[in-house]
A and B are shown apart, each in its own frame.
Chain A
């Protein structure tokens, strides 16, 4: 049991935990905006931890660089996709759960 394998196993455990948190949030939260909040943060963090485990496992010479590129790509594109979905949900007229409203509703249009 080398320290590299121990670090890889720890990162895999952390990534599995965040994937579990994101999917439970997708299933249990009451609103499309709350679900998108849960998945776009927690699931991205879980997949980034998995990529980091791959970087530790394969080292910087062989396949480590695509892992780091994958981390950068996930952190760039997951908020963009969540923003597109929330904007389309707003344009479709889906309201918030409870008493929350959009900020500055009167100024729009």
Chain B
């Protein structure tokens, strides 16, 4: 692990965490419910990027699998909420 790669991944971690906090603004102040769902989907994608950056930064390659599982959970939650806010029911 060289110095430049360490610096770049640390900068990427700080930037992705800050962007996740900024998405929280749209979750709180979003005018409609689909705005909040879009913001939560963006938060899920940013958390996936944070997990990959953590894996690159520390060399723990298991966190790539953690990122994959987080992506699956984000997709399922997005589809579930998008169905729930319209029909009020998920499994009918």
Q: Contact between B19 and A84 (Cβ–Cβ < 8 Å)?
A: no
Q: Contact between A22 and B42 (Cβ–Cβ < 8 Å)?
A: yes
Residues of B15-31 at the interface with A, using a CB-CB cut-off of 8 Å, are 15-16, 19, 22-23, 25-26
Q: Contact between A32 and B67 (Cβ–Cβ < 8 Å)?
A: no
**Range of interface residues on chain B?**
35 or more
Q: How far is the CB of B4 from chain A (nearest CB, A)?
A: 6
Residues of A15-72 at the interface with B, using a CB-CB cut-off of 8 Å, are 15-16, 19-20, 22-23, 26-27, 32, 35-36, 39-40, 43-44, 46-47, 50-51, 53-54, 57-58, 62-63, 66-67, 69-70
Question: Which chain A residues border B33 with CB–CB below 8 Å?
Answer: 92
Chain A interfacial residues counted at CB < 8 A: 53
Question: What residues make up the interface of B, taking CB atoms closer than 8 Å to A?
Answer: 1-2, 4-5, 8-9, 11-12, 15-16, 19, 22-23, 25-26, 32-35, 37-39, 41-42, 45-46, 48-49, 52-53, 55-56, 61-62, 64-65, 67-68, 71-72, 75, 78-79, 82-83, 85-86
Question: What residues make up the interface of A, taking CB atoms closer than 8 Å to B?
Answer: 1-2, 5-6, 8-9, 12-13, 15-16, 19-20, 22-23, 26-27, 32, 35-36, 39-40, 43-44, 46-47, 50-51, 53-54, 57-58, 62-63, 66-67, 69-70, 73-74, 77-78, 80-82, 84-89, 91-92, 94
